[in-house]
Amino acid sequence: MNEAYNALKERMAEIADLNHAAALIGWDQQVYMPEGAAQEHGNMLATLGKISHEKFTADETGKLLQELKAELPNLDADSEEYRVISVTAKDYDRATLVPADFIVEQAQVTAVAHQAWAEARAKSDFSIFQPHLEKVVELAQRYVTFFPPAEHPYDTLLDLFEPGMKTADVQTIFNQLRPQQVELIRAISERPQVEDSFMHLEYDEKGMWDFSVEVASAFGYDWQRGRQDNSAHPFTTSFSADDVRITTRWVSDLPYALLFGTMHETGHALYEQGVGSVWNRTALEGGASLGIHESQSRMWENLVGRSLPFWQHFYPKLQKRFPSQLGNVSVEQFYRGINKVEPSLIRVEADEATYNLHIMLRLELEIAMLEGKVAIRDLPALWNAKMEEYLGLTPPNDAKGVLQDVHWSGGMLGYFSTYALGNLISAQLWEKFKSVEPDIDEKMRSGDFSSLLSFMRIKIHQHGRKYEPQELVQRVTGSKIDPTAYLGYLTGKYNAIYGI
């Protein structure tokens, strides 16, 4: 077995290198690429994707896996070898069903689609993006046909991002969440609104950037293995645990979006930097799922970054940077202001109480697009109608409506429910962490986040893709993904802020 296992690892290392090179081009595409280079980037991504796909799905890979799978009954199911073989085999079985020419076409279509989305968003004109999104959706529909029929066609896309989860599972969770979150929002709306005018004053971009770097450093982000840049939509990308990059964005009329965007992406980056070196250049590098990944970003952004103990430490430093804006604002006023609940147009700027409604809205539209029940040209009107239904708001233009997120341009249908799942998981993990570290509030007041990072490193980060998300959550918390802890967290926090 050793010879076959080493041959498999060597082969997967070369494939990982190709995928890392493609990711580097994708990072450049969103950060530094000249506007006219979209087609050339698409060609490079298509070529790398084709070579990687062909190498992975080659007969030689299949023969190695066939030989190694025969050894699985003799291995400890929790061992490195068992997990590398079983996870790689699952990926291989999926990949061999997808033709190489499809991989090429998808890379070319999404590279151009991303550029079209950026232009459409800048001009607030959905018609620029519409033909590209039509191609993206058609590709998703074709992708589903490569696989055996599932309970729902969306299951096939969801499994790419949240292994083991079904559309029905997500819909059941959302049906539990929706009425209780709507009730909380209704109760908040009947209370006097908190004051947050200080958040909308004019701030210096560099000052906010420098403060965000200070916070990311305190969280534990290793700048020797990472960097931060600007992009149209904040994201994190990883080429290994030793090269994990984040981006944020400056919105002049929403200056705190830069800070909380950095916190969010730092959470993702801490996860990637903490993946065990044993998984480097194997199929198990990276996070267990996007829901688990999102649990890390939402935890550091919200459960830490929007908590009172966090600001009791950091607020004097922020006041010192921005004395004219914050000199007369107490830390308690600041805490209430950054946690103001108010339905908003943009998901990434939404408060915790309304955030999941944005996800539910998009999930419904994605399923309808995949089923062919909506025409892409009608999306702006459908989006606006659902925003009115869910949040009582109508976007004034496409940029603040249907064009606000980058993910569809990258072909990432099946992705969005993971954002809400991440919220739920973050609260479950936080509840478990506080049970073993009850004085975490005091530690945050002194600027010490090391015990939290250590807990996540041991319980979550180091395992990479070793465990599927439901298994991992159950191993750490004792239960599968469940909304109870999150609803308790939201209710307790906002009842106190709004005096409900």
Tokens of 2: 């050793």
> Whole-prediction pTM value?
0.91
pLDDT at 327: 95
Q: Which of 40, 105, 195, 265 is catalytic?
A: 265
pLDDT band at 149 (very low <50, low <70, confident <90, very high): very high
Domains in the chain: ranges and CATH: 2-149 (no CATH), 167-498 (1.10.1370.30)
Order of strands across the sheet that contains 226-230 = 226-230, 243-248, 236-240
Q: What is the per-residue pLDDT for 183?
A: 92
- The DSSP secondary-structure symbol of 194 reads P
Q: Is the pLDDT of residue 500 over 90?
A: no
List CB contacts of 111: < 8 A, sequence separation 6 or more: 29, 38, 39, 41, 42, 45, 46
Flag whether pLDDT at 38 surpasses 90.
no
Are 288 and 467 spatial neighbours (Cβ–Cβ below 8 Å)?
yes
Average pLDDT, integer, range 27-44: 92
Say whether 342 is catalytic.
no
> What pLDDT is stored for residue 130 in this prediction?
98
Q: Residue 100's pLDDT is what?
A: 86
Model confidence over 395-446: pLDDT tens digits? Answer: 999 999 999 998 999 999 998 899 999 999 999 999 999 999 999 999 999 9
Identify the pLDDT of residue 196.
95
Q: Which two tokens stand for residue 281?
A: 């250049």
- The alpha-helical segments, DSSP class H, found in 124-275 are 126-145, 153-161, 167-189, 205-219, 256-273
Q: Which residues are paired to 244 by β-bridges?
A: 226, 238
State the Cα–Cα distance between residues 208 and 267, nearest whole angstrom.
18
How big is the CA angle at 393 (ends 388 and 394), to the nearest 5 degrees? 80
Helices (runs of H) and strands (runs of E) counted in the chain: 21, 3
SS3 344: coil
Query: Does residue 1 have a pLDDT over 80?
Result: no
Q: How far apart are alpha carbons 467 and 471 in whole angstroms?
A: 6
Q: Angle, nearest 10°, between helix axes 126-145 and 153-161?
A: 100
SS (HEC) of 274-302: CCCHHHCCCCCCCCCCHHHHHHHHHHHHH
Q: Could you count the other beta carbons within 10 Å of the beta carbon of residue 441?
A: 14
What is the SS3 assignment for 442?
A: helix
Least confident of 89-93, 237-241, 383-387, 412-416: 412-416
Average pLDDT over the chain, rounded to whole?
A: 95
pLDDT tens, residue by residue, 166-210: 999 999 999 999 999 989 999 999 999 999 999 999 999 999 999
Phi, psi of 394 (to 5 degrees): -120, 120
Return the pLDDT at 348: 80
